[in-house]
A and B are shown apart, each in its own frame.
Chain A
Amino acid sequence: MENEFLKNRLNVNRRHFLGKAAVGLGSLGLGSLLMPNLFKGDMAEAGLPLGLPHFAPKAKRVIYLFQNGAPSQLESFDYKPMLNKLAGQDLPESIRNGQRLTGMTASQTNFPMVGSYFKFAQHGKSGAWISELFPNIAKIADDICIVKTMNTEAINHDPALTFLQTGAQVGNRPSMGAWLSYGLGSENQNLPAFCVLLSRGRGNGQGVYSKLWTNGFLDSTHQGVVFSSGEDPILYLNNPEGTDKTSRRRMLDKLAELNHLGFEENRDPEVEAKIKQYEMAYRMQTAVPELTDLSKEPDHIIKMYGPDCLVPGTYAANALLARKLSESGVRFVQLYHQGWDQHGNLTGEMPLQAQDVDRASAALVTDLKQRGLLDETLVIWGGEFGRTNYSQGKFGVDNYGRDHHPRAYSIWMAGGGIKGGTVYGETDELGYNIIKDPVHIHDFHATVMHTMGLNHEQLNYKHLGRRYRLTDIAGKVIPGLLA
């Protein structure tokens, strides 16, 4: 059985390469920052080669629109009119049922429930309830799968984010993007397999940190590369003032001559590798600015993502850039939009946050669809946990806050192998506990890997004596999410 898998996969691989060869040598060349497990004859544990999926994948690439700080599910995708009816009443202890509280509400004497200040309506064929804060996402209801039963153990941002990104609340384990880079390599030899884009909204923010896109114990070539909105889209990409492409070329030519002389002396294969890395750096200097230049995008695209997309560093600009990177073969594009931590003034802040992301998120899905790429691109939208159904601090039906809630929250996914136009899982009528079809973080990871053609139990890495996986020792694929 296993051999058959392998045979099939090798065939796929050969076709893949012959296809590439027809495009020409230029598109290949140098290990992405970089990939090249396929060529190392490196073997994964079960004797399966890295750089190839374990079975036929639906998705080839991931774009993860991370809403950092935890957007409230109760004002977005989990409609709970009962909370409006019971507004001000104390959450029954039987519902809370021992859930530990964060330090911010642990001393609160009562837990007054509060319903959404924003109106909900049903959208699409599935009749999904979506709040008025997300009118554009509502329009793509038939393309997305809303998961209402995500759950985690972490109750604070740092451990929850770290858990969602690396499969463990603490520690320095590789993040999802690094795992996929390790497992599948890169599709584009001039770009990193794992790119990270950062933006910040107007709501209460929580920082991000490089640990979220770390390679952990994997080779550092799998580390997420941050694209910045500043002068250098990648660190140190631009030539210094006073030099240009031709002078850089002259230097690299002479440098190669000198390095070859060195090689004749020391015969170290590393020298050859070095020369090639300089050549790839040179090609990146052309490829990356072309890609990050959004000014040449046609008007209808600009219109779709909104005028913000021409302002570097905004969520909209990053969403558009994510499409371009993904289209160019970047395996995993990770966005973080900060500012979703509404402990207070939720009614004031959440509309601003939604305004930042609603149009561009929907545009990205539509854009991919129009290009015929949605089928092979998995788009994920969501935060690290949910928010409580009771108010934090001063209570008021039009001005309230919500604390962290790990037991149930909503995200949505679209494209690559995901069943669009569905709502998965149910919470109780108070939106506190899951009553049907829970999706734990580990299950989410297993499912994402499944869409990419990877068995989450087989993609592992032995480090200091132990085999590690993204899903640690748990996780199961959720068939209900799959097309």
Chain B
Amino acid sequence: MNSKVIRVSFFAFIAVAALAIINIKCTPSVGQEIPDVVDYNFHVRPILSDRCFACHGPDEKKREANLRLDTEAGAYAALEDNPKAHAIVKGNPEASEVYKRIVATDTSIKMPPPSSNLTITENEIKIIKKWIAQGAKIKKHWAFIPPQKSELRKADKDWVKNEIDYFTFDKMKSVGLSPSDQASKETLLKRVSFDLTGLPPTVEMQDAFLKDESPNAYEKVVNQLLKSKHFGEKMALNWLDVARYADSHGYQDDGLRTMWPWRDWVIHAFNSNYSYKKFITWQLAGDILADKMKWHPKAKEMLLATGFNRNHKITQEGGVIDEEYRVEYVTDRTNTFGKSVLALTLECAKCHTHKYDPISHEEYYGTFAFFNQVPEKGLFGTIDASFADPPNMRIKDEDVKSIFNFINKKDTSKLEVMVMKDSSKVRPTYILERGNYDSHGKVVDFTTPKAILDFKGYDKNRYGLTRWLFDDKNPITSRVYVNRIWEQFFGRGIVKTTGDFGMQGELPTHPELLDWMASDFKQNGWNIKRLVKQIVTSATYMQSSVVKDEHKKIDPENKYLARSTRMRIPAENVRDHVLATSGLLNPEIGGPSVKPYQPKGLWEVATSGRGSLATYVQDHGKDLYRRGMYIFIKRTVPPPAMLIFDASNRDQCEVQRTRTNTPLQALAMLNDPHVLESARVMAQEELSKNTSIDLAINNGFRKILCRMPSKKESDILKKYFEEELVFFKKQPQKIKSLQKIGEYEHKTVKDPVALAALLQTFQMMFNMEETLIRI
């Protein structure tokens, strides 16, 4: 049920109907083998947490029979209603009440009770039995034990390129797999270009790399891409989802906001290789830091970075109760903090103590307190009252010429950005009973979940919070970030649930590797470019993505990394690829978001009619060809082509996108004017070069697929071109309407029939499966 990632739509053919019925009868395959040594963290806790902790876990208000199974004290203690019995008797399953209850057939004592709709499988019962027999050792949750660098594993010296590979080699061998061959040079170049810049390699780059036979040819390319100004754009994509960045306030009137200078800062931060520590510290506490260091030349930049915590939605609905929404914003910041940097579902402790993880109701509001100090209103004004509700900062033109030279401000109009600020007097924070904004419980002090690290000796403000986060003893911060970066490059985190490192999250597939990398990242100053380079220069990353029979059999999900994963590129990069290939792309960085072609009427049919965003006013000229990440995001009606390819709606913090494969995507690639216009412009350019059709097709293929076509492919393409020639010769009136598409200059060519046929041929290439795959 946790297959949120890489979900493919399977197809319902009648032939499989019978099979499906059989399928339904089987439980999904779980590892059927019982391990020799049962480990609490890896084998037992996932069962107990999922099936038992809701009633016998951290939440004391919901605890049944006063029995708590998530701590040693609770699990080994005598039962309250029967002091002679114990939930768990070390070494003796038959004497342990837990075991007796899960194997009971009498439904009045059976656990979990039938009313819970939960069951424990035979296999899981065996695991619990063996664990108790082996002494029932309870360990601290893995994510709360600080990571350590363990010894590198034994590996094939000829294969490994860096430390990562020792761990992955060992793991894949343990399941009976071997590394795949290194991917071809063309594949590698496409892969690393998309991964580091979100753009295809140009034909010139392809030629240069293919020609370069020096041993460090690949490393040179990697260095070149890491230096590219588009690196920051690519890295920013995921962070903009995390930060729920958008160009409108959200909620139903959904007016304009101007947070884009903050987005420009994110790109700048990645391009300047700010350490992760600085990147996060400035965003969470830049205002406090700037106050402490008014002399610092970058004090204003620190303040700008805090826009992170103001990217949440803000209501402009006339009748709302101010406090209700103010609390909502603080809640959003608190939950975003939990999900983005701690990978914990803090929000589960908003209404009551967390049911699975050791996060109390009080600790939730202790964390909430840090974000509860902003002098802000739930409802600042109705629509268009403000593009930047206070507290905000003014971006002055003279600053744009100096310290803010990364902000792409295009005119001299007034520009304000929302930022963070704390009121001079501390606002008391109450526990909110059941999470209701007006049900005040007792006052709480600033704190964080103790199970991670005690909040002692730090300043009681957001700066103190960042000190706690980056304290060397904090077990979670570096793991979470390393894991998320890992997911970007392998399509799956070492911990698959990148947003949940708690008890209900998945366990790491390579715990030692994750810990090694997390420690290494910390020891090397939280250096992001270094981490990225480490990943993309590993032999693990450089493998071929061909799916072999043994992969399908042993590891269809590619958990064990004996191959590279083919992944569809992110929504924004789909557009970037098409535009870059045709040469239409406007490579400008940052600036106000743009409004390219969009199907008519989408904003108009959904608007309340109020505000400047009631109608969609399309841009023209160069602004039509900006990268996907700069498309204007109106939260209530997000850009359709982006949503179709699984982009976030930016409603809330999201750390992970799904990757679906749907017919709507096919329709978008076939009929979106951007794609057609690109095909037209490419055809125009190729024909105006006066080269042969064969060469034109070949060039187009190299741009779109980033490799040379095979003989068979060339033949099919040529044949298709000729079929289309025949068609358009017969129906010349269709040529004109076909090439009308798009506002980009229409050049007259000598042979309009060939133009139409070539346009169709390029259009088909854009629709090839491989085109949108990071192979």
Q: Chain A residues in contact with chain B, CB under 8 A?
A: 10, 13-14, 17, 20-21, 25, 28-31, 33-36, 38-47, 49, 100, 102-106, 155-158, 161, 170-172, 189, 198, 200, 205-211, 214, 217, 219-221, 223, 225, 228-232, 234-243, 247-248, 250-251, 254-255, 257-259, 261-262, 265-271, 273-278, 280-281, 284-285, 313, 403-404, 457-458, 461-466
Across the interface, B649 reaches (CB within 8 A) one of A210, A238, A461, namely: A210
Q: Do A207 and B664 contact each other (CB < 8 Å), given the known contacts A102-B320, A220-B646?
A: no
Chain B stretch 664-690: residues in CB contact (< 8 A) with chain A: 664-668, 670-673, 676
The docked-state distance in angstroms from the alpha carbon of A238 to that of B119 is: 49
Q: Can you list the 3 inter-chain pairs with the closest CB atoms, starting with the nearest?
A: A465-B504, A242-B738, A41-B23
* Interfacial chain A residues near B600, Cβ < 8 Å: 230-231
* Interfacial chain B residues near A274, Cβ < 8 Å: 661, 666, 769
Q: Do A240 and B738 contact each other (CB < 8 Å), given the known contacts A207-B607, A254-B720?
A: yes
Is B119 in contact with A47, judged by CB distance below 8 angstroms? yes
Most buried by B among A156, A217, A275, A403: A156
B293 within 8 A of A: no
Give min CB distance, B204 to chain A, whole Å. 25
Chain B stretch 595-615: residues in CB contact (< 8 A) with chain A: 599-602, 605-609
Is A228 in contact with B662, judged by CB distance below 8 angstroms? no
The docked-state distance in angstroms from the alpha carbon of A239 to that of B669 is: 11
The docked-state distance in angstroms from the alpha carbon of A189 to that of B673 is: 27
Q: Do A277 and B547 contact each other (CB < 8 Å), given the known contacts A28-B13, A46-B117, A157-B252?
A: no
Is B770 in contact with A262, judged by CB distance below 8 angstroms? yes
Is A31 in contact with B11, judged by CB distance below 8 angstroms? yes
17 A-B pairs within 8 Å (CB atoms) are namely A29-B13, A34-B663, A36-B12, A103-B322, A198-B606, A209-B606, A228-B602, A234-B664, A237-B667, A237-B671, A240-B741, A242-B734, A242-B735, A266-B545, A270-B566, A273-B8, A457-B117
Chain B stretch 521-559: residues in CB contact (< 8 A) with chain A: 545-548, 552
B174 within 8 A of A: no
Chain B stretch 711-747: residues in CB contact (< 8 A) with chain A: 712-713, 716-717, 719-720, 723-724, 727, 734-741
**How many B residues are at the interface, by size bracket?**
35 or more
Told that A43-B28, A46-B118, A266-B547 touch, could you supply 20 new A-B pairs with CB distance under 8 A? A31-B12, A34-B662, A40-B10, A44-B1, A46-B117, A47-B119, A102-B319, A103-B318, A209-B636, A241-B738, A242-B735, A242-B739, A270-B769, A273-B10, A277-B9, A277-B666, A278-B663, A465-B502, A465-B503, A466-B345
* Interfacial chain B residues near A104, Cβ < 8 Å: 318-319
Give min CB distance, A222 to chain B, whole Å. 10
* Interfacial chain A residues near B37, Cβ < 8 Å: none
B500 within 8 A of A: yes
B644 within 8 A of A: yes
Give the secondary structure class of B's interface.
loop
Is A209 in contact with B668, judged by CB distance below 8 angstroms? no
Q: Do A464 and B27 contact each other (CB < 8 Å), given the known contacts A36-B9, A39-B20, A103-B319?
A: no
Q: Do A255 and B251 contact each other (CB < 8 Å), given the known contacts A461-B1, A465-B356?
A: no
Q: Do A251 and B720 contact each other (CB < 8 Å), given the known contacts A157-B252, A277-B662?
A: yes
Chain B stretch 318-338: residues in CB contact (< 8 A) with chain A: 318-322, 328
Binds A, one of B78-86, B153-161, B759-767: B759-767
Q: Do A29 and B661 contact each other (CB < 8 Å), given the known contacts A17-B17, A266-B775, A465-B356?
A: no
Write the chain B residue with the least CB distance to A30: B11
The docked-state distance in angstroms from the alpha carbon of A258 to that of B741 is: 26
The docked-state distance in angstroms from the alpha carbon of A210 to that of B322 is: 25
Is B328 in contact with A170, judged by CB distance below 8 angstroms? yes
Is A259 in contact with B636, judged by CB distance below 8 angstroms? no
Give min CB distance, A246 to chain B, whole Å. 8
Is A236 in contact with B667, judged by CB distance below 8 angstroms? yes
The docked-state distance in angstroms from the alpha carbon of A39 to that of B9 is: 10
Is B720 in contact with A34, judged by CB distance below 8 angstroms? no
Give min CB distance, A215 to chain B, whole Å. 9
* Interfacial chain B residues near A239, Cβ < 8 Å: 670-671
* Interfacial chain A residues near B118, Cβ < 8 Å: 45-46
* Interfacial chain B residues near A267, Cβ < 8 Å: 546-548, 552
B348 within 8 A of A: yes
Chain B stretch 146-165: residues in CB contact (< 8 A) with chain A: none
* Interfacial chain A residues near B676, Cβ < 8 Å: 240
Is B251 in contact with A158, judged by CB distance below 8 angstroms? yes
B175 within 8 A of A: no
Chain B stretch 632-653: residues in CB contact (< 8 A) with chain A: 635-638, 640-641, 643-644, 646, 649, 651-652
Is B546 in contact with A34, judged by CB distance below 8 angstroms? no
B416 within 8 A of A: no
Is A235 in contact with B668, judged by CB distance below 8 angstroms? yes
B21 within 8 A of A: yes
The docked-state distance in angstroms from the alpha carbon of A273 to that of B545 is: 17
B7 within 8 A of A: yes
Is B643 in contact with A210, judged by CB distance below 8 angstroms? yes
The docked-state distance in angstroms from the alpha carbon of A237 to that of B643 is: 16
* Interfacial chain A residues near B24, Cβ < 8 Å: 10, 41, 43, 49
Is A247 in contact with B760, judged by CB distance below 8 angstroms? yes
Across the interface, B637 reaches (CB within 8 A) one of A38, A209, A281, A284, namely: A209
Across the interface, B767 reaches (CB within 8 A) one of A34, A255, A261, namely: A255
B16 within 8 A of A: yes
Is A268 in contact with B566, judged by CB distance below 8 angstroms? yes
Q: Do A258 and B671 contact each other (CB < 8 Å), given the known contacts A207-B253, A209-B635, A210-B636?
A: no
The docked-state distance in angstroms from the alpha carbon of A274 to that of B662 is: 8
Across the interface, A242 reaches (CB within 8 A) one of B20, B548, B737, namely: B737
Chain B stretch 365-395: residues in CB contact (< 8 A) with chain A: 379
Most buried by B among A13, A206, A235, A284: A235
B499 within 8 A of A: yes
Is B328 in contact with A14, judged by CB distance below 8 angstroms? no
* Interfacial chain A residues near B328, Cβ < 8 Å: 170
Give min CB distance, A220 to chain B, whole Å. 5
Give min CB distance, A360 to chain B, whole Å. 18
B424 within 8 A of A: no
Write the chain B residue with the least CB distance to A17: B17
Give min CB distance, A213 to chain B, whole Å. 11
Is B9 in contact with A31, judged by CB distance below 8 angstroms? yes
* Interfacial chain A residues near B10, Cβ < 8 Å: 31, 36, 39-40, 273
B2 within 8 A of A: yes
B65 within 8 A of A: no
The docked-state distance in angstroms from the alpha carbon of A26 to that of B14 is: 10
One digit per residue, 1 when the CB lies within 8 angstroms of any chain A CB and 0 when it does not, for chain B 236-262 equals 000000000000000111100000000
* Interfacial chain B residues near A242, Cβ < 8 Å: 734-740, 756
B768 within 8 A of A: yes
The docked-state distance in angstroms from the alpha carbon of A462 to that of B504 is: 10
Q: Do A235 and B28 contact each other (CB < 8 Å), given the known contacts A207-B606, A266-B545?
A: no
* Interfacial chain A residues near B253, Cβ < 8 Å: 207
The docked-state distance in angstroms from the alpha carbon of A328 to that of B599 is: 26
* Interfacial chain B residues near A34, Cβ < 8 Å: 9, 662-663
The docked-state distance in angstroms from the alpha carbon of A38 to that of B23 is: 9
Most buried by A among B636, B667, B673: B667
B4 within 8 A of A: yes
* Interfacial chain B residues near A157, Cβ < 8 Å: 252, 317
Is A250 in contact with B723, judged by CB distance below 8 angstroms? yes
